[in-house]
């Protein structure tokens, strides 16, 4: 039987540099890896059906974009393969309405929000002037399940009419109406807005400018000087709540001097390199994320080997 310690599927052309990095780092640690793409997915699917291929860990960056990868996802989720992130957990974690309530229960600060039902469940809604007053103006209109790149998000809403119009756009989705959070401007000139990655057991926060969408690495010195250790704790708490392996979240040190989680869980992280794309992730951050993943794959591989040795010894008891 053919075996791989790690499989990674992808369809996006801009994932190529990320894939090349995975290939290089996995090679350094003698981790066998295969890559699933449109040109080989039919062959891989057949091998899995025939039980002639075994995959220990799987990073899926394709099945949400192409139906051709769905059968592999289904097969591996029913086998002893470690899926990053487990499918049964993802749908709950990326629903912003779910996470809003869970974050509040866990003691995390979130923007003041109103959650309104989908149009298909309740066509007419009532929002009082008092509710709108608490939100202030402008406020944010955000679909609960449309994720990635700010798709469907209105950041400068002023009226109830805009809310009613946006609900029709994604009529099957819940919506959040959120107060707009403003970051402090620190003495280094940076807006105190962060995108923090949870990467296979560790938090990796970065500066992220919500206006330019440009990243900067967060240094140890900055972490100390600006008392930013809370970013690590908050990201770890979100990981505990969601039980996901790899995601990003947005956290703001607000003008009210609170760390506020403003964008809850994004499970498909853009891993373009900053050296190739001005709005990409800092190269060292991507390297840290891949390194963390390979370390986790090595742990999972070791556990599988121990299990196989144990089962083998049970089958051949000493007389």
Fold for domain 2-85+284-313?
Answer: Rossmann fold (3.40.50)
Q: Is 32 a residue whose pLDDT tops 90?
A: yes
Kind and range of the H or E run holding 310: helix 283-315
Query: Can you give the pTM of this predicted structure?
Result: 0.89
- How do the domains of the chain map onto residue ranges? 2-85+284-313, 112-179, 183-283
Residue 22 has pLDDT above 70, yes or no: yes
122-143: string of b/e by CB count within 10 Å (b at 16+)? eeeeeeeeeebeebeeebbbbb
pLDDT score at 319: 44
Question: Which CATH class, in words, describes the domain spanning 112-179?
Answer: alpha beta
**Rounded CA separation 295/44 (Å):** 25
For the segment 200-257, what is each residue's pLDDT rounded down to a tens digit? Answer: 999 999 999 999 999 999 999 999 999 999 999 999 999 999 999 999 999 999 999 9
Q: Is 143 helix (H, G, I), strand (E, B) or coil?
A: strand
Q: In what order do the strands lie in the sheet with 193-199?
A: 215-217, 202-208, 193-199, 246-253, 259-266
Structural contact between residues 153 and 178, judged by C-beta atoms closer than 8 angstroms: no
* Closest listed residue to residue 70, CA positions, set 25, 36, 23: 36
Dist CA 36 CA 10 (whole Å):
7
Structure tokens at 229: 């250790």
Has domain 183-283 been given CATH number 3.30.410? Answer: no
- Across all residues in the chain, what is the average pLDDT? 91
pLDDT band at 318 (very low <50, low <70, confident <90, very high): low
CA nearest 86: which of 234, 214, 239, 218? 239
- 58-72: average pLDDT: 96
């Amino acid at each position: 039987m053919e075996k791989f310690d790690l499989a990674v599927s992808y369809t996006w052309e801009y994932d190529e540099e990320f894939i090349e990095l995975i290939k290089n780092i996995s090679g350094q640690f003698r981790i066998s890896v295969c890559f699933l793409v449109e040109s080989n997915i039919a062959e891989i699917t057949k091998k899995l059906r025939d039980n002639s291929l075994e995959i220990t860990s799987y990073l899926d960056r394709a099945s949400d974009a192409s139906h051709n990868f769905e059968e592999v996802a289904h097969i591996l989720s029913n086998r002893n393969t470690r899926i990053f992130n487990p499918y049964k957990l993802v749908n709950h974690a990326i629903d912003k309405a779910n996470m809003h309530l869970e974050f509040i229960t866990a003691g995390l600060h979130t923007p003041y929000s109103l959650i309104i039902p989908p149009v298909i469940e309740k066509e007419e809604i009532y929002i009082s002037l008092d509710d709108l007053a608490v939100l202030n103006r402008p406020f944010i209109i955000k679909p609960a399940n449309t994720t990635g790149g700010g798709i469907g998000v209105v950041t400068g809403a002023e009226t109830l009419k805009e809310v009613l119009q946006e609900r029709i756009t994604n009529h099957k989705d819940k919506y959040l109406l959120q107060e707009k959070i403003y970051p402090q401007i620190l003495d280094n000139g940076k807006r105190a807005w962060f995108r923090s990655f949870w990467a296979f057991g560790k938090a990796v926060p970065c500066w992220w400018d919500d206006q330019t969408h440009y990243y900067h690495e967060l240094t140890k010195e900055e972490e100390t000087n600006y008392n930013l250790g809370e970013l690590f704790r908050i990201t770890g708490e979100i990981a505990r709540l969601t039980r996901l392996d790899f995601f990003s979240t947005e956290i703001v040190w607000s003008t009210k001097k609170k760390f506020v989680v403003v964008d809850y869980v994004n499970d498909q992280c853009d891993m373009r390199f900053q050296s190739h794309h001005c709005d990409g992730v800092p190269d060292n951050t991507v390297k840290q994320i891949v390194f963390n993943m390979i370390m986790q794959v090595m742990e999972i591989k070791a556990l599988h080997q121990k299990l196989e040795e144990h089962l083998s010894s049970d089958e051949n008891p000493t007389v």
